[in-house]
Amino acid sequence: MYFIENVLPPVEPPLLMVSRFQWDKIKQIQTFAQRPSTKASQVIVVETGTRQCYGTSDCAKLLNAIQATNTSDKPYYFMISSDGESFDALGWRRRSPLFPQYSANALVLAFIGTRAVLKISGIKEVARACTATLV
């Protein structure tokens, strides 16, 4: 008689990518001829300098409030909330104006919040959030 141990792979929580169409009330999505490369050689990570947000509805309210007070578009490709949700900002529709010297081949990400209060549970979640959008 053989005893075979059944081992299942670890279960990870599903990745949530919130598209711009889901959170943007103003719907001012613009597409320009200069699209970013989907083969980034650099990743630039910044912070939004706002409060933190948790959950899709809380973050959508915050992002819409920021957008209502600021006429320019979010200069990030994707934004990541405190609980790991990814929010599409520029997406792959256009290059970020934030770092023009790097934007042709860099991926500009932003953590929603500030460094003083941000708790990053690990680079694994960030990597999952970024790579899921490439699929």
Q: Is the pLDDT of residue 55 over 90?
A: no
Question: Is 9 inside a domain boundary?
Answer: no
Total domains in the chain come to: 1
Domain that holds residue 118: 17-22+35-132
Rounded-to-integer distance, Cα 43 and Cα 109, Å: 7
Residue at 51 is within a domain: yes
* pLDDT, tens digit (0-9, with 9 covering 90-100), for 93-119: 777 888 888 767 788 889 998 765 545
| Residue 62: band (very low, low, confident or very high) from pLDDT cuts 50, 70, 90 | very high
β-strand partners of 80: 86, 111
Flag whether 12 is in a domain: no
The one-letter amino acid code at 110 reads A
- Helix (H, G, I), strand (E, B), or coil: what is residue 66? helix
What is the pTM for the complete model shown? 0.67
Cα separation, 95 vs 18, in Å, equals 19
What CATH number is associated with residue 40? 3.40.80.10
Most confident range, picked from 9-18, 59-68, 86-95, 111-120: 59-68
